[in-house]
């Protein structure tokens, strides 16, 4: 098994342990929290897709683009 696969697995194991610890070891609460976080991110992604489709550029993208053009 490549070292990068071990590193990735360790990262996810650590993230799982942290999520479970944040929910006081309650696995059901951990899963619920992760589902809720995922739903929030999906909704935010849909909003960004809609804004981009309408021709809007999110404010953070504009400032990031300006910062990149100033350094070039």
Question: How does pLDDT run across 13-71, given as a tens digit for each residue?
Answer: 999 999 999 999 999 999 999 999 999 999 999 999 999 999 887 676 555 555 655 55
Number of structural domains (the chain) is 1
Task: Please state the rounded mean pLDDT for residues 7-16.
Answer: 88
Query: Residue 62 belongs to what domain range?
Result: 3-71
The predicted model scores a pTM of 0.64
Residue 22 vs residues 4, 8, 15, 19, 38: alpha-carbon distances, Å:
27, 21, 11, 5, 16
What is the pLDDT at residue 56? Answer: 87
């Amino acid at each position: 098994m490549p070292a990068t696969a071990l590193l990735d697995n360790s990262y996810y194991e650590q993230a799982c342990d942290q999520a479970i610890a944040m929910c006081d070891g309650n696995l059901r609460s951990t899963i619920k929290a992760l589902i809720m976080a995922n739903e929030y991110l999906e909704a935010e992604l849909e909003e960004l897709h809609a804004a981009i489709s309408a021709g809007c550029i999110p404010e953070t993208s504009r400032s990031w683009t300006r910062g990149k053009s100033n350094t070039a």
